[in-house]
Every structure is written in C-alpha cells, then in structure tokens.
Amino acid sequence: MTRLLTVFLSALAAVGCVSAQASPNAQTAVDKTREYFNEALALRAQTDEIGTLSCVEYALNMGPYTKIVPTLERIKGIFDAYKQIVNFQPPLNLSIPEEAAAGNNIVYFLGAATIEIGEAFDRMTKTGTANLCTLPMLGTKIKKALQDVKAVSRPFYLSLASFHLTEAQDIGGSLFSFESNIEAAIQAYSSPIPV
C-alpha cells in the first residue's frame, strides 16, 4: 500500500512538473534560434576567410567560397522548418518561469545571430565582386542563395515576434537590420563581375 501511494504521489509530481515546463513550441523556438546562431557564426567565420586567392581556391574546390552557399542553404532550411513545423498558438506565457527563460534564450540567440550574420553580409558586400575573378557562376550561386534566405527570413522573424509579444518590437528591429544587410550583399553579387 505504501509503495502504491509512493507511485501515485510520484505520478502527481511528474504531472506537476510537466505543466510547469515550457511548451514544446517554446523549446522548438529556442532550438531553431540556437541553430540559426550557430550557422551565423559559421558564415561569419567563412566570410572572414575571403581573400585575394579565394576564387583560385574555389576553382580547386577549396576555400571559403565552397562553404558559403551550403551554409546559406542550411540557414534557409532552419527558417523554413520553423514556419512549417510550428504554429505558435498561444504566445509565450511569461508568468511561467520556464517559458520566461525560453523567451530570454530566444531573444539572446536571435539577437546574437542577427549581429553575426550582419557582419558576414557586410564582409561579403565589401569583398564579394573583387574576389570572384573569372568565376561568374559563383557570383550567381551566392546571389541566389542570398535571395532564397531573404525570401523566408521575414516569416521566421515575424513568427518569433508574434510568439514573444513583449519583445516583438526588438525582434522587428532585428528583422530590419537583417534585411538591410542581406540586401546590400545581394546588390554586391548583382554587380558585373570583373574578368
């Protein structure tokens, strides 16, 4: 009887723990913003490696240009997966400590990712066409990858804003920064490529 009571109380405690946890939607948002941050860090590192020999390395299937398009494609995949998997209803309930903590993580990862990817786009804007040499197809591939990311970025950011209502304005500011930076990079890779 004592054992049965212990099992029953344990089950009640477990139910209580589940009800106090952050929602699956919150965990998904944290996971996706963390993935985005990690890929933004990778893109920043790759663009920092662009130099005068980068186009030669690319011709040999080496160097930073071989990594940039796959990284952009992974970022697009994160944005796509987020809006397809999750229907964020209801928004975060910040009165639940676990949901408030999830909200803090979302804001941190999204803000940090936006800064890192903005730096990467800035680097691409400044070094892009000068280092593509006689490889116009590379410029076309990068431009398309950038355009594909931009096309799915707004739904990603706005979904987060509607999920984390108290930070919606700041998330909107991050979106504005993201769009400005990626558009500059797209324009850089739209210019005539020197031969």
For 57-87, the pLDDT digits (tens) are 888 899 998 999 999 999 999 999 887 666 6
Whether 125 maps to a domain, the answer reads yes
Whether 162 maps to a domain, the answer reads yes
Q: How many domains does the chain have?
A: 1
Tell me which residue of 95, 88, 96, 75 sits closest to 168, measured CA to CA: 88
For 132-179, the pLDDT digits (tens) are 666 668 888 899 999 999 999 999 999 999 999 999 999 999 999 999
Whether 171 maps to a domain, the answer reads yes
Measured from the Cβ of residue 30, the count of other Cβ atoms closer than 10 Å reads 19
Whether 18 maps to a domain, the answer reads no
* Of 24-28, 119-123, 127-131, minimum mean pLDDT range: 127-131
